[in-house]
Amino acid sequence: MADSARISVIDKVRRFLSNKNNLNVLKLELKDYFFITLGVAVYALGVNIFMLPYGLTTGGVIGIATILYYLTEWNVDTTYFIINVCLLIVAVKTLGLRFCLKTIYGVVCMTLILRVFQNLIADVDAEGHLVFPRLLGDEIFMACVLGGITDGIGLYLCFANNGSTGGMDIIAAIVNKYKQMSLGSVILACDIIIISSCYPAFHDWFRVIFGFVLMFICSFTLDYCLNKTNQSVQFLIFSRNPQKIADAIVKTGRGVTMLDGEGWYTHSERKVLMSIVRKNEQMYIQRLIKSIDPYAFVSLTNANSVWGEGFDQMKVKAEKQQKNRRTLVFASNSTHKLNEVRAILGDKYDVRSLADIGCRIDIPRITGSIQENALLKARFIKRYYGFDCIADDTALECDALNGLPGIYSTTYASVSDEEALNNQKAMLHSEQYSEELSNEMLNILHTAASNDKPIVHDDVKGNVDKVLEKLQGKSRVARLHTAVALVTGEYIDPKKNETHIFDGILEGTIAETPSSEPKFFYDSVFIPKGYDQTYDELGVDVKNQISQRAIAINKLKAFFEKKA
């Protein structure tokens, strides 16, 4: 049994390593841990060489630990470890397990490396006290400068690689997650309180002043390094071969916008490319442009703050009335549908229409089920507009017609039953983002009708008349079936989308004749079970309470409440 279990583990490892994506993820994780270790070592070196020998106090948990060391001679590494264990218990829920795993690793590393450096650097006097050599003689100000720079670089190496040295870094990371405040600024605020507590303990203003100097230099170094690596640049490219340059930049993972321009001297039309990339990608893009068109005219400017896809997120306070509301897009412009959904979900949700987000594309029904049609619409909005999205699709299913009109409910008048039953389109996989689905989305964009063309409405009367004709002399049992798709998660990488489907089914029958002139779907002929009137006759208020869409949306609402 042990041998078979061992072989099973080996097979899993072999399969894992054979996947290139898994290998890339593994390499990135190992890189993170390497630089976290390096950052911790640099920070610990600064503490043992520049801080402890000169009696300097900085902020953070290290600052607290050093104050206690000066007062009680408790080991810095032991105090540091105990305080961080308490902070990590709070951090796991807020920052997530992945961040905290690396933080735990950073804390353990810091504890061990502090002890190792103390054993290597410090001597023990006759009374058993640790004595640290002063490498800079009596130059305490230089110790402040070099200590601040060293600690700032160490913190940068940790933060830039998704890690932390614990302590105030954890508090800074929590604040930075929700607020537009730099890491250095948050640490600065915490450190002011800690360093100021030196005076009641030592009654020495010089110790406090030098602590502030060290803290300021550390904070400045951290922000400088982070901003330097996160800085972005904007390219404006004027070329006679813009398409090829645009295609090449897109392959790097960055976006390009093609603008229309006119050369005023020649009065000839020109295409202008605009692209924003990270500072560290600048040289590669420049070489790429030169290799395609060495005579291109290129303007490059610094972009200090870039928010959006592939860059940073805007972290600003929402307006008071919007603060506790979740924004959702309902993929429709139907006033009736929107009012129904908003009434069910209530004030906790800001439900927006397609027009509200600037989407004027009529997303077609192109798959083999109403679930897939709804999912396609929701994924399209999530991918190209970024919002969490709900979308629906509805079908009338008649037992006597083998479930027709089904997915052809809005086009039933224009298709034959044979075509509807025998030419069902292949269903797209609903559980993961596929290349096929991506191509379908791009087709929607590329083939979308211009605003100048009239919108073709459903032939409601033709659909109703055909259903009534086909059901003559047959069972009139039918149902309305609505599928509501929810797509949330990361829109930059659609493979990380979270998708859910909620079905609402309302049983009923089809009336012998329409109760009114058919205007919307099959409302003039569908009689819900338990009633003797059609949807039209029951009115909007009753319909919104019992409808198949209401059933599906209530399931969605229950799902949200369960996750809250």
Task: Judge whether 431 and 443 are in contact, CB under 8 Å.
Answer: no
Q: How far is CA 327 from CA 45, 235, 456, in A?
A: 48, 33, 30
Return d(Cα 409, Cα 394) in angstroms, integer.
Answer: 8
The tokens 């600048």 sit on which residue?
A: 282
Return d(Cα 211, Cα 542) in angstroms, integer.
Answer: 71
Which residues are known to be catalytic?
393
Who contacts 408 (Cβ-Cβ below 8 Å, separation ≥6)? 415, 420
Task: Judge whether 367 and 428 are in contact, CB under 8 Å.
Answer: yes
Who contacts 333 (Cβ-Cβ below 8 Å, separation ≥6)? 353, 354, 355
Helix (H) or strand (E) holding 114: helix 97-121
- Residue type at 402 in one-letter notation: N
Return d(Cα 187, Cα 220) in angstroms, integer.
Answer: 11
Q: How far is CA 179 from CA 173, 218, 380, in A?
A: 10, 21, 29
User: Computed from CA positions of residues 526, 529, 532, 533, in that sequence, does the dihedral angle turn out positive or negative?
Assistant: negative
Do the bridges between strand 123-124 and strand 130-131 make them parallel or antiparallel, or are there none, so unpaired?
A: antiparallel
Kindly write down the DSSP assignment for every residue of 215-242, as one continuous string.
HHHHHHHHHHHHHHHH-EEEEEEE-S-H
3-state secondary structure at position 349: strand
Q: How far is CA 71 from the centre of its chain?
A: 46
Helix axes 97-121, 168-178, angle to 10 degrees: 150
Q: How far is CA 458 from CA 281, 455, 521, 548, in A?
A: 50, 10, 8, 20
User: Computed from CA positions of residues 517, 519, 524, 525, in that sequence, does the dihedral angle turn out positive or negative?
Assistant: positive
Longest dimension (CA), the chain: 110
